[in-house]
Structures are given as C-alpha cells and as structure tokens.
Structure 1
Amino acid sequence: MSGFSGFLVGLAAVLLFWGIGAYNRIMRLRNKIGDAYAQLDQHLSTRAKLVARLMELLLPELVTELAAFDALHSAQTDCDTAAAAVRARPAVADPVAQLAVAVAVHAAALTRLLALLDQHPELRARDDIQPLLDELRAIEQQRSFARQLFNEAVRVYNEATNQFPTRILAGIYGFKEARSL
C-alpha cells in the first residue's frame, strides 16, 4: 500500500467515523426534543382533564353561555388532535405549528370562560371550583416551563443541524429543521 492510498484509507475512516458521530449526535438531540415534548404533553393532558371537570361543574350554572362552552370544547378537541400529531413526530415542524395555533385558540376560549366565571363570584367561591382553578393555574405555570424546555431542545437541535459540515449530513440523512412552540 502506497503512502497516498494509506492516506485515502485514513481519510475515509475519519470521514466515516465523523459521519457516524454526527448522525448519533443529531439523533440524540432529536430524541431530546421528544423527551421535552413528553413532559409538555403530560401537562397538556392534565390541563385537558381539569378543563373538562371545570366545564362539567360550570355548565349547569351557566346554561345561557353555551357558546363559550362549545368554543372551549372545540378548542380542546383541536388541541388534543394536534397534540397527538406532535406526539407521533415531535421534531416535525407542521404538526408543531398546528399545535401552537390550537394552544393559542384554547387559551383564548379558556380566558373567555374564566371571564364569565369572574362575573359570577358565587361560583368562583364554591369549594369544588376554586381548587380546580388553583390547580389549573399551577399546571399552566408548569406547562409554560415545559414549553421553554421544548423550545430550548429545538433550538439546540436546529443549531446542530445548521452547523457546517454537519449541515451536509443533515441533508443527506433527511433531518429537517424543527419548530418551537
């Protein structure tokens, strides 16, 4: 084996091991996005249960406000559907964008229901409603923190896939840019 062919074999080995390392790094970062989303998804699920329980308690008392309940129920359904799509592939941008929209619509519908509840202080003071509101407020803070963790995982992944020369391999391996919430 001549010196030049030995050099080429060595270069090929270095490139091969670098490619494997880069692939493993990107996969590890993409998996961190999935792990971060799992935490966020847990909070979304808990919020859905709390909102369903709150609606169940308030509907008999606020029968005249069916539009607000329908809007919240529809927003919750959309949020659940979008969350399931993200759960399947948390590093894909389109489902995450749909979830971001669904969460914003849900927040607006929930705000509307809470505003209605503010107009009825006797309902807010009930022993079965106030603890739900406190728990909902706490889960919203936890969800906000989980969203930050998800967004940070997305940022790190996107930075890794956009760095040269890993950017070349990301294109070859089919790694696309992820989207934050």
Structure 2
Amino acid sequence: MTGPVVLWMFAAVCMFWAIGAYNRLVRLRARGADAWGSMEKQMRKYLPLVLAHLNLTSVPEVPDPSQLEALDLPLLWHRLLKELLQLEQTLRATRHFPLKEGASKGLKAAFDSVLTTWNELCCAPGDLAGAQVPFELHQEWDAITEKTKSSVGGLNQILERYNEAIHQFPASLIAQAMRFHSVEKI
C-alpha cells in the first residue's frame, strides 16, 4: 500500500474512534440527566407533604419566603419550610443543566440541611398536644427519604462511571474539547 492510502485509513479509524468515544460520553451524560430527573422528582415531594401537614392550602405550592414570615409556626417548622424552599430553588436552578460544574454541590448542601432540620424536629421534645412530628407524617417522610436516597445512590454510580470515562486517556481529549467536566457526587 502506498503512504496516502495508509494515512487515509488511519484518519478514518481515528475519526470513527472519536465519534464512538463522543457518543459514549453523551450517552453517559444522558443517563446522568435521567437519573437526576428521577432524584429531583423524589426531592420535590417533601415540600407538598409538609405544606399539607401544616394545612397551608392557601399558600402556593412554592411559596415566597416573605409569605413564611407571616405564618404562625413553631421555630423548627419555620426553619424546615425555609430549608425546603431553598431545596426547591436549588432544584429549579439546576433543572436545565444538572451536570453543570458545581450543581451537585449546592444540591447536596441544601438536601443535607433539610435532613438535619428534619432530624432536629423529630428529636425535639413534644408538648401537651403530642409529638412535634405525627407518626403518619414521619412514615411518609421516611418513605420519600428512602426513595430519594436510592435514586441518589443510582445517580452517584452513573456519575462515577461518567467521571471515570472522561478521565481515561483518549476520551479525555474529547471531553476537554467538548468542555465536559467532572461532576461531584451527591
């Protein structure tokens, strides 16, 4: 074979390899976005659950933080609502670009603060009316949390595979050219 034929064959093999590597990265990103959507769906169940428990049907599904100031609620419930609103805002901000650099860090912080406030509320001593958190609400919250943690675990596995893929040598060149970045786990 002559030199130009070998050169063209080498160029064709490299081009097909590059397209295959790019498609693999895009498929991993799509799986990550799907898993993010599943996790987001579970996380969005917390606020309506708490609003329904507090009989705040007149408040919109995602109330303005200034509306919370007017509500006559115990301090921990007020704080939980604020944390849930922060989680909602973070979910809205990351909806269109879930695999953007830094998106998962903000979501992890918001979700952790919601769970911390919930645990404080559950551990708070009851009063004459009973426990701070009714048993039924506690069960529903735990069911949502279990599903959320399961979807977060699935997302983290996908993100781990994605991060490994963009750091492998040949694919790292394409990832760098396409500006694909590592995504932090939640």
* Same fold flag (TM > 0.5): yes
Q: Matches of 1:30 and 1:55 in 2, distance apart?
A: 39
- Residues 67-122 of structure 1: CA deviation (Å, up to 9, x unaligned): 21221111111101111222211112312111111111111111222223x52485
Q: Is this contact kept in 1: 2:87–2:110, CA < 8 A?
A: yes
Deviation at 1:27, TM superposition (A): 0.4
Secondary structure of 2:155's partner? Answer: helix
Deviation at 1:139, TM superposition (A): 1.0
Deviation at 1:66, TM superposition (A): 2.8
- Residue 156 of structure 1 aligns with which residue? 161
Q: Using a 3 Å threshold, how does the CA distance of structure 1 residues 52 and 65 change in structure 2: closer, same or farther?
A: closer
Pair 1:119 & 2:149 matched: no
Q: Matches of 1:77 and 1:88 in 2, distance apart?
A: 18
Q: Is this contact kept in 2: 1:154–1:179, CA < 8 A?
A: yes
**Count of aligned pairs between the two proteins:** 172
Matches within 5 A, 1:129-140: 129-140=134-145
Q: Which residues of structure 1 form unaligned runs of 5+?
A: 58-62
Amino acid at match of 2:145: E
Amino acid at match of 1:85: A
Q: Matches of 1:141 and 1:131 in 2, distance apart?
A: 15
Aligned identity (percent) is 24
- Residue 35 of structure 2 aligns with which residue? 36
Q: Using a 3 Å threshold, how does the CA distance of structure 1 residues 65 and 84 change in structure 2: closer, same or farther?
A: closer
- Residue 84 of structure 1 aligns with which residue? 92
Q: Is this contact kept in 2: 1:36–1:149, CA < 8 A?
A: yes
Pair 1:177 & 2:177 matched: no
Q: Is this contact kept in 2: 1:154–1:178, CA < 8 A?
A: yes
Matches within 5 A, 1:50-61: 50-56=49-55
Q: Using a 3 Å threshold, how does the CA distance of structure 1 residues 174 and 125 change in structure 2: closer, same or farther?
A: closer
| Residue of structure 2 aligned with 1:69, choices 60, 65, 77 | 77
- Residue 25 of structure 1 aligns with which residue? 24
- Residues 20-41 of structure 1: CA deviation (Å, up to 9, x unaligned): 1111100000011111111111
Higher alpha-carbon deviation: 79-88 or 153-162 = 79-88
RMSD between aligned residues:
2.3
Q: Using a 3 Å threshold, how does the CA distance of structure 1 residues 146 and 54 change in structure 2: closer, same or farther?
A: same
Deviation at 1:48, TM superposition (A): 2.1
- Larger fraction in helix: 1
Deviation at 1:64, TM superposition (A): 8.3
Pair 1:108 & 2:116 matched: yes
TM-score, normalising length from structure 1? Answer: 0.86
Amino acid at match of 1:7: V
Q: Matches of 2:150 and 2:5 in 1, distance apart?
A: 53
Q: Matches of 2:81 and 2:177 in 1, distance apart?
A: 43
TM-score, normalising length from structure 2? Answer: 0.84
Q: Matches of 1:20 and 1:121 in 2, distance apart?
A: 67
- Residue 96 of structure 1 aligns with which residue? 104
Pair 1:144 & 2:149 matched: yes
Q: Is this contact kept in 2: 1:79–1:103, CA < 8 A?
A: yes
